[in-house]
Structure 1
Amino acid sequence: MSSYQELTARQRIPAMFDAGSFEEFLPPSMRIVSPHLAQLDAAVSFDDGVVVGRGKLGGQVVFGAAQEGGFMGGAVGEVHGAKLVGMLQRAIDERAHAVVLLLESGGVRLHEANAGLIAVSEVMRAILDVRAAGIPVIAVVGGANGCFGGMGIAARCANTVIMSEEGRLAMSGPEVIETANGVEEFDSRDRALVWRTTGGKHRYLLGDCQVLVEDDTQALRAAALDAIADIPAGGAPLTLDGLLAEQAMLERRLRDTQGLTEPMDIWKGLGMPDPARVPMLEPDAFLTLAAQYRATPTLGER
């Protein structure tokens, strides 16, 4: 078993795509870096923290991207976002079979302020454009930094979200919540609490992620192949009915979890017996149990 979490973005791409098939757009040799970081005398990366391009996955032409958590936590700036948007738009132009996003990001790069915010919004719009074109989008979340902020929202714009148990997905990261509201609201040093609240098992039970696998590169690759195959012809684009169903699900979630602050209480509310043992279960045992108690399926599964 090879841990996906321990790989860099440049190691994840060849591990996920068919051997030797990936062609990178705007590689580091082109030295396209953020002008904003240079103005602040901050360190730059020659790929601005993201690898984008196209390759083959199971023999089909698939466009993809991998964010590098080791550079500014995978945060999105102007160039980083533009590379993602350009890749997504090219996927539409070339009628790709699918798009796979290997996401690891803390959200917007604060060094770039409004430019980063605009970039993330453009990434979201581009993902929805790809779906509207009938091309499925798969988001994979399994990096050590998780997927937070605007990229957490972007992940949920995909058809399918695949996570490992070690992956984390949320709007605001633990440190952000603690800084804004105090340690009494959320103790970011309580790692067990962080994973119970934002980790793959909790997100799977709530329906925010559709597939949960162990932290294994080949398992995540196989899950991506299966997810693409499971999406019907035409890519399951967004529809008004689907959006209304999603909204109804969120309203039910808010109602059913009113006043609950501990994930174990939410799991208990779903009907799960002995919720305290959930964090200790291996993925297969967890999925067997979760099949009986998981929340209503979400938009990505329709």
Structure 2
Amino acid sequence: MITSYAECSARERLAWLLDEGSFHEWLPPAQRLTSPHLAQLGLPAAFDDGVVIGRATLDGHTVYVAAQEGEFMGGGVGEVHGAKLVGLFKRALRDRPRAVLLLAESGGVRLHEANAGLIAVSEVMRALLDVRAAGIPVVVLIGGANGCFGGMGIVARCADHIVMSDIGRLAMSGPEVIEASHGVEEFDSRDRALVWRATGGKHRWLTGDCDTLVEDDVAAFRAAAIAALDSARPVTLDALEAEHAKIAARLRFDGAEGIALWASLGVADAARIPDLDVAAVLALGVR
């Protein structure tokens, strides 16, 4: 039986992903920790501010976890939301769990808390990199309906390991933002096929921005998360130079969009990629 990861709430994903009954939540809704900025604007708040954090076990190993709730303001990061993520990483630095898991689903920073949210995202990145430097792997899972964009897109790429479903999306600027800034001629956000060719899981796996590609299935995400528990990657000069070289190669690419890029990477008959299932894409053996 397949249970869609995308259709689950943040708490449902945690229940499926983690060892049964092992999750202990920090700052649960009963503590009513809400954003003061939203209250001042007369906007509805959530008692967990749209992110669930805590401690659990995964395959018997202690992990610290955070799951963003896409149904609350699109998983947008505000001051309290970001502070909870920072606190999770700082506690991981102190307690040294086997890994930190971030179930990311976010459109980026909340416009209602723009400055506070931007500062929060920068603090999350710094805390995440501190955890990585301590040798504790940070694993990001992306498969929600809202994707992972904006500041959280940057946070995700700071991690050791990224797991995505084929329907997951990852990018800096979202399609609507690009269209609003540069016009529909630059990017038509209503063209769903184009959006997934530019930001979707298959594209990110083929270009090396995602380490593990899975089906939209909670069991597949759990298996991938377990496999990633030993995925720590030291942040070294060699690693950074390799990333810079990959980015430089993309800047030299002179093509229209994803299909042409896949072809340049050696994918035969690249136009058929959108119609392939995950197993068929993985079987191509190109990265």
Which category describes the TM-score, using the shorter chain as reference length? Answer: over 0.9
Number of aligned residues: 286
Paired with 2:214 and 2:242, the residues of 1 have a C-alpha distance of 26
Paired with 1:169 and 1:248, the residues of 2 have a C-alpha distance of 20
Are 2:277 and 1:282 equivalent residues in the alignment? yes
Who is 1:245 aligned against? Answer: 242
Report the 3-state secondary structure (helix = DSSP H, G, I; strand = E; otherwise coil) of the residue aligned with 2:283. helix
Who is 1:298 aligned against? Answer: none
Report the 3-state secondary structure (helix = DSSP H, G, I; strand = E; otherwise coil) of the residue aligned with 1:183. coil
More divergent stretch after superposition (263-272 vs 43-52) = 263-272
Paired with 1:180 and 1:25, the residues of 2 have a C-alpha distance of 39
Who is 2:200 aligned against? Answer: 199
Paired with 1:227 and 1:217, the residues of 2 have a C-alpha distance of 15
Paired with 1:272 and 1:84, the residues of 2 have a C-alpha distance of 38
The code of the aligned residue for 2:277 comes to E
RMSD: 0.8
The code of the aligned residue for 2:82 comes to G
Matches within 5 A, 1:185-196: 185-196=186-197
The code of the aligned residue for 1:119 comes to A
Paired with 2:132 and 2:281, the residues of 1 have a C-alpha distance of 31
Q: CA deviation at 1:276?
A: 1.4
Report the 3-state secondary structure (helix = DSSP H, G, I; strand = E; otherwise coil) of the residue aligned with 1:119. helix
Who is 2:85 aligned against? Answer: 84
The code of the aligned residue for 1:248 comes to A
Paired with 2:22 and 2:42, the residues of 1 have a C-alpha distance of 37
Q: CA deviation at 1:271?
A: 2.1
Report the 3-state secondary structure (helix = DSSP H, G, I; strand = E; otherwise coil) of the residue aligned with 1:212. strand
The code of the aligned residue for 1:19 comes to E
Paired with 1:79 and 1:284, the residues of 2 have a C-alpha distance of 40
Paired with 2:156 and 2:218, the residues of 1 have a C-alpha distance of 19
Report the 3-state secondary structure (helix = DSSP H, G, I; strand = E; otherwise coil) of the residue aligned with 2:162. strand
Matches within 5 A, 1:219-234: 219-229=220-230, 231=231
The code of the aligned residue for 1:221 comes to R
The code of the aligned residue for 1:236 comes to R
Q: CA deviation at 1:270?
A: 1.5
Matches within 5 A, 1:1-302: 1-229=2-230, 231=231, 235-255=232-252, 257-258=253-254, 260-289=255-284, 291=285, 293-294=286-287
Report the 3-state secondary structure (helix = DSSP H, G, I; strand = E; otherwise coil) of the residue aligned with 1:251. helix
Paired with 1:132 and 1:196, the residues of 2 have a C-alpha distance of 33
Q: CA deviation at 1:237?
A: 2.4
Report the 3-state secondary structure (helix = DSSP H, G, I; strand = E; otherwise coil) of the residue aligned with 1:36. helix
The code of the aligned residue for 1:112 comes to E
Q: CA deviation at 1:10?
A: 1.0
Q: CA deviation at 1:199?
A: 0.1
Paired with 2:163 and 2:189, the residues of 1 have a C-alpha distance of 24
Paired with 1:236 and 1:201, the residues of 2 have a C-alpha distance of 23
The code of the aligned residue for 2:249 comes to R
More divergent stretch after superposition (263-272 vs 168-177) = 263-272
The code of the aligned residue for 2:282 comes to L
Displacement over 4 Å in runs of 4+: none
Paired with 1:134 and 1:74, the residues of 2 have a C-alpha distance of 28
Report the 3-state secondary structure (helix = DSSP H, G, I; strand = E; otherwise coil) of the residue aligned with 1:168. coil
Report the 3-state secondary structure (helix = DSSP H, G, I; strand = E; otherwise coil) of the residue aligned with 1:5. coil
Unpaired stretches in structure 2, ≥5 consecutive residues? none
Paired with 1:170 and 1:88, the residues of 2 have a C-alpha distance of 23
Paired with 2:213 and 2:267, the residues of 1 have a C-alpha distance of 18
Identity of aligned residues (%): 64
The code of the aligned residue for 2:38 comes to L
Paired with 2:249 and 2:258, the residues of 1 have a C-alpha distance of 16
